[in-house]
Amino acid sequence: MTDSTMTIAAPRPRCARCGTPGGALCTGCAAHEPKTIGEVIAQKMPPMPEASLTADEVTETVCPVLDIDREELVRRSRIAGWRLWTWTDELAEPGWEQRFADALDAGKQRLAEQKRQTIAFRVGHALTDGPFALGSLSMTELLERIDAKLRPLAEQLSPEHGGRLICGPTGIGKTTALVAATRRLIADNVEHPDPNRPLAGVDLRWVRAADLPIARLGHGLGHGEAELVERARNCQILCLDDLGWESRRAGADDVIGEVIAYRYDTGRVTWVTTGLKPEQVVEKYGEAFTRKICEAGARAGKVLDLWPKESRQ
C-alpha cells in the first residue's frame, strides 16, 4: 500500500460584500462603496420610514467633526431646527458642516428675537398697572435717566436682598431705577431659566399706591376684594410706586397697611418708592410699616434715604 499526500489549496479571497472570489471587495461592489459618512450610516441602518440616527451614531460621527459632545450637539440642533433624522440626509451630501453652521446662525437669530419678544411681553405685563411707557426703554436708556446713587439699585437689586423703601425727592429716578431692575430680572430669567431659582416664572407686578384705595372704593360690596388689591397682595414681588399720594377718603391708609401686613405675614418681597422722608413714612403709616416692608420673609431689607442732608435742616 503506497502512502499518498493530499494537497489542500488555500481558499481564494472572496468579496466581503457579495462573496464573489477575487479580493476583499470585488470591482462591482467597490463601485458602490459608500463615499460619505452619511452613506455609511444609512447602509448600517435598517429601512425606516424616516431614517433616524441613534444617539450613539450621532456621537460617533458628527460630534468628532464639530469637536463637541453629544449634549452640545443636541442643543445646537434644536436651535438650528435640524431634527435627528435630518442628519442622515445632510451627512450624505458634501458641505453639511457649512449648511449646519448657517442653519445654526439663523436659529440663533430666531431664538434671540423670541427672547426679545418674551422679555418685552413680560415687562409690559409687570408694568400694566404702573409706569407702562417706561417698559419700552432699553436698559441703557433707563440707566441714563437715573441719579448715580440709584445705579446699584437698578443693576443689582434682587428679591434675595429683601424689601426696599426708597425715599427721595421727585425727579431723581426712583421709579425708573425700579423699572430697570424689573427689566434686568425678567431678562435674566428668560436668558437663564432655572426652576430652582426664586425668580422662575417671574411674578412681579407694579401698582401705584394711589390706585389701591380707588380700586377698593369702586368695587361693589359683597363681591370680594378688588382685583387690583388682590394682585398687590399675592404677587411674588410687588413694586408699590409713589407711596404717600393716595387719597385720604375711605381709609386709604388702611388698604395700604393691609396689603403690606399681608405680604409681611406671607413672606413676599415688596419694593416701595416714595417722595416722603423716612420719618414722614413712620408718622403717616406707623412704626411697624417700614419694618414689615424690610423684614418680610426674614430677609434683611433696607431703607434707602436719598434726601440731601440740607433738606433736613
- 64-119, pLDDT tens digit by residue? 888 888 888 888 888 888 876 667 777 777 788 888 899 899 989 998 999 999 99
Own/partner pairs, 178-181, CB within 8 angstroms, 24+ separation: 178/153, 178/154, 178/239, 178/241, 178/271, 178/273, 179/127, 179/130, 179/131, 179/134, 179/135, 179/137, 179/142, 180/139, 180/142, 180/143, 180/146, 180/154, 180/155, 181/153, 181/154, 181/155, 181/157, 181/271
C-alpha 73/C-alpha 84 separation (Å) is 10
Across 109-113, 148-152, 217-221, 234-238, least confident range: 217-221
pLDDT at 31: 54
pLDDT at 63: 82
pLDDT at 160: 84
C-alpha 58/C-alpha 55 separation (Å) is 5
Q: Is the pLDDT of residue 182 over 90?
A: yes
Query: Once rounded to an integer, what is the mean pLDDT over residues 183-194?
Result: 86
pLDDT at 161: 86
Q: Which residue has the higher pLDDT, 9 or 215?
A: 215
Across 147-161, 167-181, 239-253, 259-273, least confident range: 239-253
pLDDT at 26: 61
C-alpha 155/C-alpha 162 separation (Å) is 15
Share of the chain above pLDDT 70, in %: 73
pLDDT at 2: 47
Q: Is the pLDDT of residue 16 over 60?
A: no
Q: Is the pLDDT of residue 261 over 70?
A: yes
Across 38-47, 81-90, 180-189, least confident range: 38-47
- Render the burial of 83-119: b for 16+ CB within 10 Å, e for the rest: ebebbbebbbeeebeeebeebbeebeeeeeeeeeeeb
Q: Which domains does the chain have, with CATH numbers?
A: 35-110 (no CATH), 127-308 (3.40.50.300)
Q: Is the overall model pTM greater than 0.85, yes or no?
A: no
Across 53-62, 99-108, 177-186, least confident range: 53-62
Q: Which of 46-60, 73-87, 265-279, 283-297 has the highest mean pLDDT?
A: 265-279
Q: Which of 9-13, 72-76, 122-126 has the highest mean pLDDT?
A: 122-126
Query: Once rounded to an integer, what is the mean pLDDT over residues 160-178?
Result: 93
CB atoms within 10 A of CB 173: 24
pLDDT at 10: 46
Q: Is the pLDDT of residue 36 over 90?
A: no
- The answer to whether the beta carbons of residues 63 and 70 sit under 8 Å apart is yes
pLDDT at 65: 84
